[in-house]
Amino acid sequence: MTSREAQVVSTPQSADPPRPRGRLAEVVARLTYPFRRGAAPAKQPATGFYTDTTVCIGCKACEVACKQWNQLPADGFNWSGNSYDNTGELSASSLRHVKFIEQFADVLPPPPSPNGRMSLDVLPAEPPPANRWLMMSDVCKHCAAAPCQQACPTGAILYNEFANVYIQRDICNGCAYCVAACPFGVITRSHFDGHTHKCTLCYDRQKDGLVPACAKACPTASIQFGPVEELRERARQRVEELHSRAVPGAYLYGDSPTETYTELNSFYLLVDRPATYGLPEAPFNPWIHMTGDYVRAVLSGLGAMGGLLAVFLVMGQ
């Protein structure tokens, strides 16, 4: 049986539209192009990622697959000083980032005995704390009501037919308001092209019926891709399973909405506080305050204008 990848390779690819000829035509095309709209594709079931951090082995195959598929440059061989984390954070050239959290007790040398001999009493009085190594492959959360999408003034950020948050690279003008709006620090403006970048959830692959590159490459099924509702059900079963296997700290982050934030279409199974993984403890959609902020701005301005007018009218007569 031929793999889906092999089938896709043999299908005809769409050609780029013809380029305008002449300087004037180029300028006109450049000015009018962003205002053209194509037909919206038919809606599909919402898709997303479920990342089970308990089975992540930190191999970074997801990072490499993402870079390879999206033709992203390497970030250099940097020594971050933080475990095996060498890319440091999500960036315009790293749309996946594997985080490493080393939770090990400092081991102290045994205290010298009064007679100068090494004590044979090597067992600690109390059992040592559970040393562990947490790993998590971080990515855009594809929020159900994404602050970046609400912020974008050009309409470059939209929800595609799979309900994924997608940046249209040919529309983004690099205002960076989405960077300011994202509570997860995902979106980054590239110093190379000036536009903002983040995970596309492999929109191009999805359109061809393929699984995103990172999920395809993940050797432990830590990154799972599929219809979000199915993923949520699978994740809840996994949490119950972990609870029954004496991992009481396992829980889902972002699988359901909170008072201040919607559910995430890329959600996580964690075993420590969100902050340990660099995630906000209680993500907050900044737009909750927008109406009130406008009201305060308008009232303050009107108050000042009213005071000004009062002085003019009272003292000017």
Partner 1 sequence: MQTAATPPAAGYADREPTKPPDWHQLVVWDVFFNALTTGLFLVAAVGELALPEVFGPVAVWAYPAAFVLLLVDLSLLVLDLGDPLRFHHMLRVFKLSSPMSLGTWCLTAYSLPLTLLVAIDIGTVVGLVPGDSDAVWWVRRVLLIAGLPVAFGSAAYKGVLFSTSAQPGWRDSRWLGGYHTSSAVVFGCAELLVLSVLTGHDRAAALLRPALGLLLVLGLIPLGLLLGELRPELTRRYTRDDLFRGVALSVGGGVLIPLLALAAVGTNPFAVVLTAVLVLTGGWVIRHLIVMLPHQAPLVR
Residue 146 contacts partner 1 per CB under 8 A: no
Cβ distance 94 to 119 under 8 Å? no
Q: Which amino acid is at 221?
A: A
Q: Give me the least distance between CB of 265 and partner 1, in Å please.
A: 18
Stretch that binds partner 1, among 65-73, 181-189, 230-238, 248-256 (CB under 8 A): 181-189
Residue 312 contacts partner 1 per CB under 8 A: yes
Residue 77 contacts partner 1 per CB under 8 A: no
Q: How many whole angstroms separate alpha carbon 255 and alpha carbon 237?
A: 13
Q: How many whole angstroms separate alpha carbon 8 and alpha carbon 208?
A: 7
Structure token digits, residue 303: 């108050």
Stretch that binds partner 1, among 6-14, 177-185, 242-250, 251-259 (CB under 8 A): 177-185
Q: How many whole angstroms separate alpha carbon 241 and alpha carbon 245?
A: 6
Stretch that binds partner 1, among 44-52, 199-207, 234-242, 275-283 (CB under 8 A): 275-283
Residue 107 contacts partner 1 per CB under 8 A: yes
Among the listed residues 154, 226, 227, 262, the single contact to partner 1 using CB under 8 A: 154
First-last CA distance in the chain: 92
Among the listed residues 45, 73, 112, 128, the single contact to partner 1 using CB under 8 A: 128
The SS3 of residue 204 is helix
Residue 303 contacts partner 1 per CB under 8 A: yes
The SS3 of residue 163 is coil
Among the listed residues 1, 31, 40, 42, the single contact to partner 1 using CB under 8 A: 31
Cβ distance 72 to 94 under 8 Å? yes
Residue 195 contacts partner 1 per CB under 8 A: yes
